[in-house]
Amino acid sequence: MTPRIAIVGAGPAGIYAADLLRAQVPEAAIDLYEKLPAPYGLVRYGVAPDHPRIRKIIDALHDVLLQPGIRLRGNVEVGVDVTVDELRRAYDGVVIATGADRDVAFDVPGAELPGSFGAAEFVAWYDAHPDVAQGWGLEAESVAVLGAGNVALDVTRILAKHAAALESTDTPDHILDALTASRVRDVHLFARRGPADVRFSALELRELGEQHDVEVIVDPADLELDDHASRMLEQFSQRRIIVRTLADWAQRPSAGASRRIHLHFRHRPVRVVGTDRVEGIEFERTASDPLGRMVGTGELVRYEVGAVYRAIGYLSSPVPGVPFDAARGVVPNAEGRVLDADGTPVPGLYATGWIKRG
């Protein structure tokens, strides 16, 4: 008898799961259920349009979908058009692979003000996600981006980039029009940790300084190394490259570019300032203790900005009919087997990808 398997979510996790299943059980019939009309998840709707090398992953994912025995069922939302219980009755196994589509909560006063945005929403906008409105206001001349990962760098780069630099990409016209009309001139990226502890890659960082008519500004005082940072640089070559890149930018004279990216380290957001909308953001300066943990110094600083973009992590959404740990944003599981409220494996129900591990 041919095993029948349903995979909920046709992003990278779901498609790779299908590939692995086909390799182990060649005769399996696998259906991928995707709520959007098109597959590929965050590779399609979460990667900046000026990163074609990453978007090339789609080619490998497409090859998997072409394999015999694998079918894509697009425009089907599990929990709306079909229930998990119905899938469990129709298939021998159901794999939940819906990824992470929401921003982690930003729990500081003022976070709800107009002009305060999550990176997931902004990234979905510039990638023309079908569930996101086409309009996006870029009226603020000075904006803040919070985060120390590659998504924060993507958001920073797109906010500072001239629209003409994206004309050779697949960026839709309405995105190009909005970026052309953008009033953004200064983008301030704030990281809670020091320069030796950031999570973005050296390659992505260098791309900030390779844009036309955009200069990167770094305060040399932010690059002072404590004992913890020195240990990190001794152990990790990527971190040495990052700090060298930052030091090079800190020494450069102003190029007089029309747009500027300011990189700030050891800043922990305390509150977003404003009455009817974002008017600024306040931080506490941080320092690392002997174990490398970030602690507050009590020193408060404020920056006048008209918008705040937080890129502090993604969170999964629950799937109706599937157990969900709201605090951790994952499906409770043991090695991929979904667990019920009592910790007992649910027969035939599995999880993989970000919704499995966060």
pLDDT band of 122, cuts 50, 70, 90: very high
> What's the token pair of residue 133?
């409105």
Whether the pLDDT of residue 354 is over 90: the answer is yes
Domain ranges for the chain, please list them.
4-101+316-357, 103-310
> What's the token pair of residue 34?
């995707």
Query: Residue 62 CB: number of other CB atoms within 10 A?
Result: 12
What's the mean pLDDT in 191-218?
94
Instruction: List residues bridging with 315 in a β-sheet.
Output: 102
The reported pLDDT for the residue numbered 290 is 82
What's the mean pLDDT in 89-99?
97
Whether the pLDDT of residue 164 is over 90: the answer is yes
Q: Please, what is the average pLDDT of the chain?
A: 94
**261 touches 189 (CB < 8 A):** yes
Rounded Cα distance, 242 and 346, in Å:
45
Tens digits of per-residue pLDDT, 38-65? 999 989 998 888 887 777 899 999 999 9
The structure tokens 């425009």 sit at 75
pLDDT band of 75, cuts 50, 70, 90: very high
The reported pLDDT for the residue numbered 4 is 97
Rounded Cα distance, 276 and 283, in Å:
20
Tens digits of per-residue pLDDT, 249-300? 999 998 899 999 999 999 999 999 999 999 999 999 999 888 888 899 999 9
The reported pLDDT for the residue numbered 288 is 87
Helices (H), 66-116: 84-90
> What's the token pair of residue 234?
């001794």
Torsion sign, CA atoms 77, 83, 87, 90: negative
Whether the pLDDT of residue 204 is over 90: the answer is yes
Q: Give the Cα-Cα-Cα angle 337, 342, 348 (nearest 5 degrees).
A: 30
CATH class for the domain made up of 4-101+316-357: alpha beta
Tens digits of per-residue pLDDT, 6-31? 999 999 999 999 999 999 999 999 99
Fold of 103-310: FAD/NAD(P)-binding domain (3.50.50)
147: Cβ–Cβ under 8 A, 6 or more apart, which residues?
119, 155, 189, 190, 191, 310, 311, 312
Whether the pLDDT of residue 133 is over 90: the answer is no
At 6, give phi and psi (nearest 5°): -110, 135
At 211, give phi and psi (nearest 5°): -95, 145
Return the DSSP state at 284. E
3-state secondary structure 114-132: CCEEEHHHHHHHHCCCCCC
Query: Residue 341 CB: number of other CB atoms within 10 A?
Result: 7
**101 touches 62 (CB < 8 A):** no
**191 touches 223 (CB < 8 A):** no
Question: Which of 56, 53, 44, 60 minimizes the C-alpha distance to 9?
Answer: 44
